[in-house]
Amino acid sequence: MRALQYVAAGRVEWDDIPPPTLASDGDVIVEPVAVASCDLDAALVTGLPMFPPPFTLGHEFVARVVDLGDDVEQVREGDLVVVPFQISCGACRRCTSGITANCERVPRRSMFGFGAGGGSWDGAMADRVRVPFAARMLVRLPAGVSPAAVASVSDNVADGWRTVAPHLAGRTDRSVLILSASTIGLYAADAAAALGAERVTYVDPDAHRRELAASVGADVIEGPWQRHYGPADITVNATAETDALHAAVRSTAPGGVCTSVGIYWDDALPMPMLSMYGISLTFVTGRANVRVAIPEILELVAAGRLHPEQFTALTVPWDDAQPAWANLRGKTVFVR
């Protein structure tokens, strides 16, 4: 079968690889119909040491079920499904506690589309993909929802969602501050507005992303980062920049929550611990537990309250994926 492979730093090529087969009665084989680039993908194909090539690209996707194991009754052949990017069994102690990003039954950081760095699972830019634990992994696409609109629900949309949704639950009187250099920050702004936050402030050096944030009702501020904004009850760092992280922490109101989705490769990164201690701040970081968030996100999309498609920069036909993936600019969705 054909698959789009990351073969070397700066090189992306179509290749023929063996098709996947059912490895257990709990597996499903799917055909991807819409695959979105993640904010990390543009950096990945330039050469990140922790994700050595070659491997098939893509981990945010909607797919059609084409074959299924004997134990899978929750989906049927022909169903359109959202596939979470992380591999999770749905039944272990962590998964049943909602910690699907760290399932106990698979190796740490198991995920589609990252090669050996993600446990050597398949990538989505292929004719077929094997999905394990399908009964609990897959989420049916609601009727009337476009696969291209929600391809990023597998990862980036859910990542933005988790920064605000749990902390706004049942409340409309909370303010949200988002420091962003990514589409994850835009998805957070959209979620905050949809869930009725009292005020949403969005800070970003990029003019186009600020325009998009303003279109969902956010008050926008141009970067570069200031030392302090706010205070806001909920703050979000959707960057990988130390100054932005520190600004988000310092801008959190007493008793507030600050979530950082950025990946920082330096374990010695300094943090303003005294400031955090003084305001009883709750700090959240780490990979999002995306499987937990997907059903509620899809409900809001189906109801017309969330619109992730408005942040898609480019939609590309499947056969034209190679040059587009090698030169990613913003959120790109590849459609079959």
Domain shared by 266 and 138, yes or no: no
| pLDDT above 90 (res 306) | yes
Token pair recorded at residue 271:
């943090």
- How many CB atoms within 10 Å of residue 109? 15
Domain shared by 201 and 261, yes or no: yes
- The predicted pLDDT at position 265 comes to 86
- The predicted pLDDT at position 181 comes to 95
Q: What is the CATH number of the domain that holds 200?
A: 3.40.50.720
Q: pLDDT digits over 240-252, tens only?
A: 999 999 999 999 9
Domain shared by 128 and 64, yes or no: yes
Please state, rounded to an integer, the average pLDDT across all residues of the chain.
Answer: 96
- The predicted pLDDT at position 48 comes to 86
Domain shared by 226 and 273, yes or no: yes
Domain shared by 145 and 182, yes or no: no
- The predicted pLDDT at position 223 comes to 85
Domain shared by 112 and 50, yes or no: yes
Residue-number span of the structural domain to which 57 is assigned: 2-155+288-335
Q: What is the CATH number of the domain that holds 106?
A: 3.90.180.10
Q: pLDDT digits over 158-173, tens only?
A: 999 999 999 998 888 8
Rounded to the nearest 10 degrees, the angle between the axes of helix 207-215 and helix 183-194 is 20
Instruction: Classify residue 64 by burial, with Cβ atoms within 10 Å: 0-12, 13-18, 19+.
Output: middle
- The predicted pLDDT at position 26 comes to 97
| pLDDT above 90 (res 107) | yes
Domain shared by 120 and 263, yes or no: no
Last residue of a domain, one of 247, 267, 285: 285
Number of domains in the chain: 2
Tell me the torsion sign for CA atoms 59, 60, 64, 65.
positive
Residues 6+ apart with CB under 8 A from 19: 1, 127, 128
Q: pLDDT digits over 213-224, tens only?
A: 999 999 999 989
Domain shared by 123 and 179, yes or no: no
Query: Does this model's pTM top 0.75?
Result: yes
Tell which wins on pLDDT, 69 or 39: 69
- Dihedral through CA 181, CA 182, CA 188, CA 190, nearest 10? 110
Q: pLDDT digits over 176-222, tens only?
A: 999 999 999 999 999 999 999 999 999 999 999 999 999 999 999 99
- The predicted pLDDT at position 50 comes to 86
Domain shared by 324 and 252, yes or no: no
Overall average pLDDT of the 60-68 stretch = 98
Task: Provide, rounded to the nearest whole percent, the portion of the chain with pLDDT above 90.
Answer: 91
| pLDDT above 90 (res 267) | no
